[in-house]
């Protein structure tokens, strides 16, 4: 069938698939992210777009992932994955939006304009995966209808983690013409590959003398299925040294439990242990180590129940019960946790690489860089710059910015504070490690990394291998530096674009008087703790709603609370806040003076 005839048929087909909320659609780093009921009509068009993207890239395989990550069960989302396994090229984001906004009667014309120099016999190729949400299978079916309408080949992976789909797309495109639907099995190229590599590496570590136990909160998401495959593999090994995974929150059939009071986002925001379902609170006891992932397994946070009293959360949504003072002893239960977030994972990997490179070669001249956003705790930045003496680059929020900046280094480490990230390697590094022994720690580290995207599962393997090689305990890792107290707030405004910020999102450029007021508040916070330069605060507009995000940190919790609330009030007053104005904070004491 000629392409023009096919496009006219698609135009007729799409008239039956109406988008309910077209004007509000935005496509960002996470793709589309909406209440699931609003994604009807969007899905079929995304399937068509995936085929157009494939056709314009010489029929290379393009991915479609359906997930809303850490969002509640009622939400869902979908995004395109480019042939290299990474996110969609940002230049194509406006193309996606323009097609979603295109009126039915102009569909055929739009498709013709965006399918240049395409032959009628060329077949687009799409890989489709989705998470465990109740709405995901129906949306996947609609995406497939779009692929079918374009006469494309759709390889359906079914229920997979987001990183698995990214890895699969990267892998099969690396095969070139060798790829066929029958040749590639995800269990083999992903689970067996990484599990075997980790097992071999651990067995060859002299510093590791016994098995490693790790508890994992799976957030009742798809990650539990993948981790169960790894758990089964490790359990089948006859070795005195292996990773023993204890999996919790694995009730994927109960759709309403997904991310509810559990998962990486919940633990990061509340500094609270996750709720275990079925109830098993006795499992969260000091001094056990825990990892927690999110609903689609692309975020990883480590934590441990605390031995001392609880402190306020870094977010204003902490339940009142979380600030009760608890004094657990070994074997007792604690609801509050010591957190090892994305900043600490970056620092761990950077420390490892600095040490390994010194042992491998003193003159290899390989560069290491850590990419952070303004949300990174300043203590981690100082550790990287002053202790490890490596480059730190600050970029805007969004994985696409971190990923791009990481490509400028031989070892580009990027993790958002929320636990999403990975490590990228230059061709120089890949050539260098190719000549190393298979059990060399640097080669092992490269082999265990999913470079396509942040992957909670493979990041667990990297963390555990790194700790074992360093012969470090949880406390060794936790003691690398001490986080400054921080807090995040949100202010609703009439229009979010009234606030303009610098490229790295650390300072406001408009309204000018807002940044002046923030600087004065930061100065007062510094004086209250007697440490100039220990406080900072910034505001940035939300990317999806009419609100402004506030971040503040200082040397004490009291100064941090005062600074965050003060900046929230300033934002409300100078940037068109609506609703109730934030309650003024308690005054700070500077020597014998009171700061309001």
| Binding site as annotated, residues | 69, 294, 296, 298, 416-418, 540-544, 549
Q: What's the token pair of residue 489?
A: 């707030």
Task: Collect all residues with Cβ–Cβ distance below 8 Å to 73 and sequence separation of at least 6.
Answer: 133, 134, 255, 256, 257, 258, 259, 260
Binding-site annotation, residues for substrate: 416-418, 540-544, 549
Q: Strand, helix or coil at 377?
A: coil
| Main-chain phi, psi angles of 231, to 5 degrees | -60, -45
CA 461/CA 469 separation, integer angstroms: 12
Q: Position of tokens 């066929």?
A: 180
CA 203/CA 241 separation, integer angstroms: 6
CA 230/CA 350 separation, integer angstroms: 26
What per-residue string of b and e applies to 197-229 under the rule 16 or more CB within 10 Å gives b? Answer: bbbebbeebeebeeebebbbbbbbbbbbbbbee
Catalytically annotated residue among 54, 69, 486, 535: 69
Q: Position of tokens 């180590």?
A: 289
Determine contact, residues 83/60, Cβ cutoff 8 Å: yes
Residue of 220, 226, 217, 223 whose CA lies nearest to 186 = 226
DSSP bridge pairs for 156: 128
Sign (positive/negative) of CA torsion 421, 370, 475, 334? negative
Binding-site annotation, residues for Mg(2+): 69, 294, 296, 298
Determine contact, residues 115/56, Cβ cutoff 8 Å: yes
Cβ neighbours, 10 Å, residue 473: 12
Sign (positive/negative) of CA torsion 436, 441, 442, 448? positive
Helix axes of 456-470 and 193-203: crossing angle, nearest 10 degrees = 10
Q: Is 69 a catalytic residue?
A: yes
C-alpha triplet 496, 414, 194: angle, nearest 5°: 130
CA 29/CA 88 separation, integer angstroms: 8
H/E/C letters for each residue in 241-309?
Answer: CCEEEEEECCCCCCHHHCCCCCHHHHHHHHCECCCCCCCCHHHCECCCCEEEECCCCCCEEEEEECCCC
- Tell me which residues are annotated as active site: 69
């Amino acid at each position: 069938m000629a392409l023009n005839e096919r496009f006219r048929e698609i135009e007729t087909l799409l008239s039956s698939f109406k988008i309910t909320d077209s004007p509000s659609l935005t496509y960002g780093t996470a793709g589309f992210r909406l209440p699931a009921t609003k994604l009807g009509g969007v899905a079929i068009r995304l399937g068509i777009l995936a085929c157009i993207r494939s056709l314009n890239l010489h029929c290379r395989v393009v991915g479609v992932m359906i997930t809303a990550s850490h969002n509640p069960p009622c939400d869902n989302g979908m995004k395109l994955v480019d042939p290299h396994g990474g996110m969609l090229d940002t230049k194509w984001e406006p193309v996606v939006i323009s097609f979603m906004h295109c009126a039915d009667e102009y569909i055929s014309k739009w498709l013709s304009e965006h399918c240049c120099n395409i032959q009628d016999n060329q077949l687009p190729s799409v890989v489709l995966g989705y998470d465990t949400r109740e709405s995901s299978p129906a949306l996947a079916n609609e995406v497939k209808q779009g692929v079918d309408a374009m006469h494309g080949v759709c390889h359906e992976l079914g229920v997979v983690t987001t990183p698995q789909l990214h890895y699969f797309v990267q892998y099969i495109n690396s095969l070139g013409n060798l790829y066929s639907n029958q040749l590639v099995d995800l269990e083999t190229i992903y689970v067996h590959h990484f599990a075997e590599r980790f097992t071999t590496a651990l067995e060859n570590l002299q510093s590791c003398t016994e098995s490693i136990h790790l508890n994992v909160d799976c957030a009742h998401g798809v990650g539990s299925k993948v981790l169960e495959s790894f758990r089964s593999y490790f359990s089948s090994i006859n070795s005195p040294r292996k990773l023993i995974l204890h999996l919790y929150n694995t009730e994927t059939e109960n759709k309403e439990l997904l991310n509810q009071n559990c998962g990486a986002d919940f633990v990061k925001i509340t500094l609270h242990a996750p709720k275990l379902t079925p109830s098993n609170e006795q499992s969260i006891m000091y001094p056990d180590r825990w990892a927690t992932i999110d609903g689609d397994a692309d975020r990883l946070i480590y934590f441990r129940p605390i031995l001392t009293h609880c402190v306020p959360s870094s977010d204003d949504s902490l339940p009142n019960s979380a600030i009760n003072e608890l004094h657990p002893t070994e074997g007792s239960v604690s609801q509050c946790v010591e957190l090892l977030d994305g900043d600490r994972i970056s620092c761990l990997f950077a420390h490892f690489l600095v040490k390994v490179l010194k042992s491998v070669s003193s003159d290899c001249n390989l560069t290491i860089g850590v990419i952070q956003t303004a949300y990174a705790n300043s203590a981690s930045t100082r550790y990287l710059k002053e202790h490890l003496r490596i480059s730190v680059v600050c970029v805007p929020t969004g994985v696409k910015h971190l990923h791009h900046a990481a490509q400028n280094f031989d070892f580009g480490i990027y993790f958002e504070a929320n636990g999403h990230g990975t490590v990228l390697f230059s061709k120089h590094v890949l050539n260098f490690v190719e000549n190393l022994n298979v059990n060399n720690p640097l080669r092992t580290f490269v082999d265990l990394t999913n470079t396509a995207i942040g992957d909670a599962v493979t990041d667990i393997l990297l963390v555990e291998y790194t700790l074992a090689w360093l012969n470090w305990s949880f406390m060794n890792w936790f003691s690398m530096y001490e986080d400054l107290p921080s807090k995040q707030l949100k202010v609703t405004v009439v229009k979010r674009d009234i606030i303009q910020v610098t490229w790295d999102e650390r300072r406001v450029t408009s309204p000018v008087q807002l940044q002046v007021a923030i600087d004065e508040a930061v100065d007062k916070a510094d004086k209250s703790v007697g440490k100039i330069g220990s406080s900072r605060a910034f505001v940035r507009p939300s990317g999806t709603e009419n609100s402004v995000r506030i971040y503040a940190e200082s040397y004490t919790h009291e100064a941090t609370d005062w600074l965050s609330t003060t900046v929230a009030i300033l934002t409300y007053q100078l940037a068109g806040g609506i609703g109730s104005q934030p309650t003024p904070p308690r005054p700070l004491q500077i020597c014998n003076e009171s700061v309001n």
